[in-house]
Homo-oligomer: A and B are copies of this chain.
Amino acid sequence: MKKSLGARTLLYPTPVMLVGTYNHDRKPNLMTAAWGGICCSQPPCVAVSLRKATYSYACIVERKAFTVGIPSEDQIKTADYMGICSGRDVNKLVEAGLSVVGSDLVDAPYAAEIPLVLECRLLHTLEIGLHTQFVGEIMDVKADPAVLSQDGLPDILKLRPMLFDFGHSGYNGVGPYLGKAFSIGKK
């Protein structure tokens, strides 16, 4: 018999995403977000939800672009820091010692040190409630060669992305390979 936990945002896993934006003065910023995911295959799109109160919200509205960086687990302190401070108060990239790279495809920056980055142009804005969802078309994915496997695609065990556990406000790593999709379930 299942137990009722109430109306809560308990989904597993949720990603740890660093949303990169420029403000009106082209000051770069990164903000940690866990509310989002892929939302369309063609065009390839990723959704991220932000509160209107965030510094990054107005940046996306103004620039109609953002990046989504996936930090590695050895960057846990940097990733967590980007969710604690606001770009209103500090230049978080400078404080964290990260190198800013301007996307050549969209009007948004990313950090050179973050191993995987999705460059997105704003396609849809959906007001839901406390959060506004921004749907970005993925114009390109850029990755450090060190996290790629021989076929040129990311190796999840080299990338080592983090999982955000909302219920207990924690981060977990990626575990072992379990099986092949569209295959292991065949009878």
Contact = CB atoms under 8 A, between A and B. Distances in A.
Interface string A107-149: 0000010001110000110101111010101111111110011
A35 interface: yes
Interface in A155-170: 155-157, 159, 161-170
Contacts of A112: 2
A128 B118 contact: no
Contact of A2 (B14, B42, B144, B169): B144
B14 A38 contact: yes
A41 B148 CA distance: 34
B39 A76 contact: no
Most B CB atoms within 10 A — which of A13, A35, A76, A183?
A13
The 10 A-B residue pairs with the shortest CB-CB distance, nearest first, are: A80-B185, A37-B37, A173-B175, A81-B185, A12-B161, A2-B142, A153-B167, A40-B128, A42-B130, A40-B131
